[in-house]
Amino acid sequence: MPISLKLPNLDNNPILLAETRAHKINEFIQNLPFGDPIRAASDLIEELQIINSQKVAFTNRLNALELYRPSAIQIYQDLIPHFSGASLPISKNEQAFADAAEQLWQEFAFGYKFALVDLQNKILNLGSSKTTALVVQRAIHACKELMLIHHLTYASAPASIWGELHQLYYCALQQSAEKLPVSEHYTINNASSVNFIYAQTLLLNLANPQHLANKHILSLDSYLGRVANKAELRPLGFIEKPTGVFLVSLDGAKPPTAFVKNKEIPDGSTDILLVTVNLARQIYQHIKLLQEGVIPNDASIPTNAIETHFEDLLAHLIKQYGKTPQRLFSRSKKSDGVELSIGMNTTHHLIREVGSPLNTNQGISGLNTNGFYRPSRWQILNVSAGGYALRKINTSMASAHIGDVVAMKDNNTKTWELAVLRWANVNELKQLDIGLQLISPSAYAVSIRADNNALESEALLLPELSALKQAASIIATVGLCKVGSTIEVHHNNTVSNVRTTKLVERTASFERFQYSLIEVI
């Protein structure tokens, strides 16, 4: 398979020569403005662009990149909080931090790819497998971080990144360098390999991060950085059970696909398998431990995993790695408009104000100038029995997160239906698409006091749906109550005491409980 890596053109007559002297690079690093991460990133990017624009001896290039890299990782970690918790659509200021992070890793990807090309062109290549392992691992790591930035901003990773990622791994295979240990100071055991970082990148995508809240994507990446070695990368061969088996085409530019969904005959010379069966077993064991209130002492899961409901993320991963997801409903295209109120606060107030003057002009899902809550306008892309795919209208202002509760009303209905925002994607035209799952045709805005709390909180009451065998439930912000809590519910001048009996679901924004009535006061 011919290798073709995307690289910038070299300047044969550069005005500024690339700095490769170790003491000068260390001096530059010491003077970086680490307190201002976007400025520090800009300064470092400028130095990397210089070295990536001209011919530099292989050893000098590699040594310079290795000197710069720890500082780049530190700056990157300081950039992430400025965009990883952003609501959608992401603001210009938050996007600036994401762009700086992306450009930083793009330059490192260029640098290590140049080093790989130089290494392959060397006439005398003693001990090249170990060096190849280092260079390829670093280049794949840069690609992995580029993909993580796209995941955190819900943008699709370009096909070019996938193509180069697969080619880099193929290079390591050709040199039998994929399993060789590589020193990596930011990992738990200070070691990595081409296999490990490549598997981590594939697994990150297979987890369907567009269905996860930003903070959970970061937790996912950190977790995979500990357990990705449980996944197996191997050549094509006999497959006893297709569950948890994914096909990776190293000569393509696409993410891995479930083996059972592949419609073409695999090519043994360029196709490999990613097998996640053992990883799924490890995740299942971690779920059992958390259910028993046990935190492993091997740092495989966070020490605060119980308090942060880490088990929910693991349950999501079991579905992605342990079996092939099936679409429950077919989708049909529909061209229409819909109004949304996104988030607990705005949804609660909108439902409460039904019947009073309501401004339904396009605008932010929040208070208008008259003090009333108003919805935002979205375009319907397609519908199914269980939900909608929508696109934000450019003139409409909205603020959304994965897991938000949503009130929705289309042009043909007069009542507000309740839904959950399940996924998001920002396409190449910077258009925001989201997916909603309907959970109730109606809801009541109530206020509650949980476990004798002195403060009242907003909540939503969902009626029983006998036809769907769906019990009545209550939605509240995360952490407000738990199974077995006694809740005082205020609705229409009536006060009721109920007890939560079952957790139906938990998202990053709310918890939904079934309940039983104790008494009406």
- Selected residue with higher pLDDT from 506 and 242: 506
Task: Please state the rounded mean pLDDT for residues 149-177.
Answer: 94
Average confidence score pLDDT of the chain: 90
Do 415 and 486 lie in one domain? The reply is: no
We report the CATH number of the domain holding residue 488 as: 2.40.10
We report the CATH number of the domain holding residue 344 as: 2.40.10.220
Residue-level pLDDT at 124: 59
* 280 part of a folded domain: no
Select from 422, 440, 458 the last residue of a domain.
440
Max alpha carbon distance in the chain (Å)?
88
Tokens of 399: 């603020």
Do 364 and 383 lie in one domain? The reply is: yes
Residue-level pLDDT at 365: 42
Residue-level pLDDT at 353: 73
* 296 part of a folded domain: no
- Selected residue with higher pLDDT from 493 and 52: 52
Provide the residue range defining the domain that includes 420: 332-440
* 244 part of a folded domain: no
Do 430 and 452 lie in one domain? The reply is: no
Judge whether residue 335 has pLDDT over 80.
Answer: no
* 268 part of a folded domain: no
Judge whether residue 360 has pLDDT over 50.
Answer: no
Do 436 and 336 lie in one domain? The reply is: yes
Judge whether residue 500 has pLDDT over 90.
Answer: yes
* 189 part of a folded domain: no
Do 348 and 435 lie in one domain? The reply is: yes
Do 379 and 449 lie in one domain? The reply is: no
* 350 part of a folded domain: yes
Judge whether residue 127 has pLDDT over 70.
Answer: no
User: How do residues 63-115 score in pLDDT, each as one tens digit?
Assistant: 999 999 999 999 999 999 999 998 999 999 999 999 999 999 999 999 999 99
Residue-level pLDDT at 344: 93
- Selected residue with higher pLDDT from 323 and 329: 323
Tokens of 74: 């530190």
User: How do residues 368-424 score in pLDDT, each as one tens digit?
Assistant: 444 456 788 999 999 887 899 999 988 778 889 999 999 998 777 777 899 999 999
User: How do residues 292-301 score in pLDDT, each as one tens digit?
Assistant: 999 999 889 9
Do 429 and 338 lie in one domain? The reply is: yes
CB atoms within 10 A of CB 211: 17
Do 416 and 337 lie in one domain? The reply is: yes
- Reported as a pLDDT band with limits 50, 70 and 90, residue 330 is low
Contact 276, 321 (CB under 8 A): yes
CA distance 259 to 256: 9
How many structural domains are present in the chain? 2
Instruction: Give which of 441, 403, 399 is closest to 420, Cα–Cα.
Output: 403
Do 380 and 415 lie in one domain? The reply is: yes
Do 375 and 457 lie in one domain? The reply is: no
Instruction: Give which of 38, 125, 140 is closest to 82, Cα–Cα.
Output: 38
User: How do residues 253-277 score in pLDDT, each as one tens digit?
Assistant: 999 999 988 777 888 899 999 999 9
Select from 385, 409, 440 the last residue of a domain.
440
The model carries a pTM of 0.91
262-266, 279-283, 454-458: least confident range: 262-266
Do 418 and 451 lie in one domain? The reply is: no
* 400 part of a folded domain: yes
**Could you give the residue ranges of the DSSP H alpha helices within 344-434?**
344-352
Percent of the chain's residues with pLDDT above 70: 92
Torsion, Cα 338 344 349 351, to 10 degrees, reads 50
Do 420 and 456 lie in one domain? The reply is: no
User: How do residues 167-210 score in pLDDT, each as one tens digit?
Assistant: 999 999 999 999 999 999 888 778 999 999 999 999 999 999 99
Give residue 442's Cα distance to chain centre: 31
Select from 405, 440, 475 the last residue of a domain.
440
* 247 part of a folded domain: no
